[in-house]
Amino acid sequence: MREIVFDTETTGLDPKTGDRMVEIGCVELVNLVPTGATYHAYFNPERDMPAGAEAVHGLSSIFLADKPRFRDTASALLDFIADSPLIAHNAGFDFAFLNAELTLCALECVCTSRMVDTVAMAKKKHPGAKLSLDALCTRYGIDRSHRVKHGALLDAELLAQVYVELKGGRQIGLELASETAPVAVAASIVRKAPEGRRRDPRPHAASAEELARHGAFVGAMNAPLWGT
């Protein structure tokens, strides 16, 4: 099964008030295993970058000025995600921005039936616990030491690991036997012992002297339990 884990960075919190998507990162999973295939792009939002947003992801208006507009690369993104389920953390946020950009390009929106929200998954699996990406990485022992600021591709890569853990971890889907061809088991090879003189068995019985010493030792005991 092919799935896409993705994350976005934006100029703010609400595309309805003019905020735009400035970065997207996607990671491909097949049967919950990263294939190494990714999609990553920055976009010129054609507007200013608020200081609060820049503090989160570090993407300035100057950095984004020479980047392509979303409509210039939308087809490559759509080709990558194809019709696969899309996994995101607080997925409603990312879907809102993705579909807002597609709408501005007069392209068909991505159906929310494809949406998988890892926040909802984590809330169900760990009720009452912290649900941020950082908190879940800590819970599952996922190294995030290189995450200084938010970044769409880096966060998608971390989220992919979290998603696998939320789905049951690395032991999920033990279907190798059904997915691989039967393996022929070689017949055991019986090897004969080399010919030669058999060694006489070693004596194991106690000698008369040993029995006498043992009797004297037991006789010196004061009311042993086995004698009652």
Name the phi and psi angles at 226, rounded to 5. -75, -5
Here the tokens at position 132 are 């941020």
C-alpha 91/C-alpha 8 separation (Å) is: 10
Alpha-carbon distances, residue 118 vs 34, 131, 161 (angstroms): 17, 9, 11
Question: Which residue out of 57, 150, 204, 214 is catalytically annotated?
Answer: 150
Name the phi and psi angles at 33, rounded to 5. -115, 125
C-alpha 101/C-alpha 88 separation (Å) is: 17
Residues 29/166, Cβ–Cβ less than 8 Å: no
What is the total residue count of the chain? 228
Here the tokens at position 159 are 């989220």
Classified as helix, coil or strand, 198 is: coil
Is 214 annotated in the active site? no
For residue 227, how many C-alpha atoms fall within 13 Å in the half-sphere facing its CB?
7
Residues 127/57, Cβ–Cβ less than 8 Å: no
Active site residues: 150
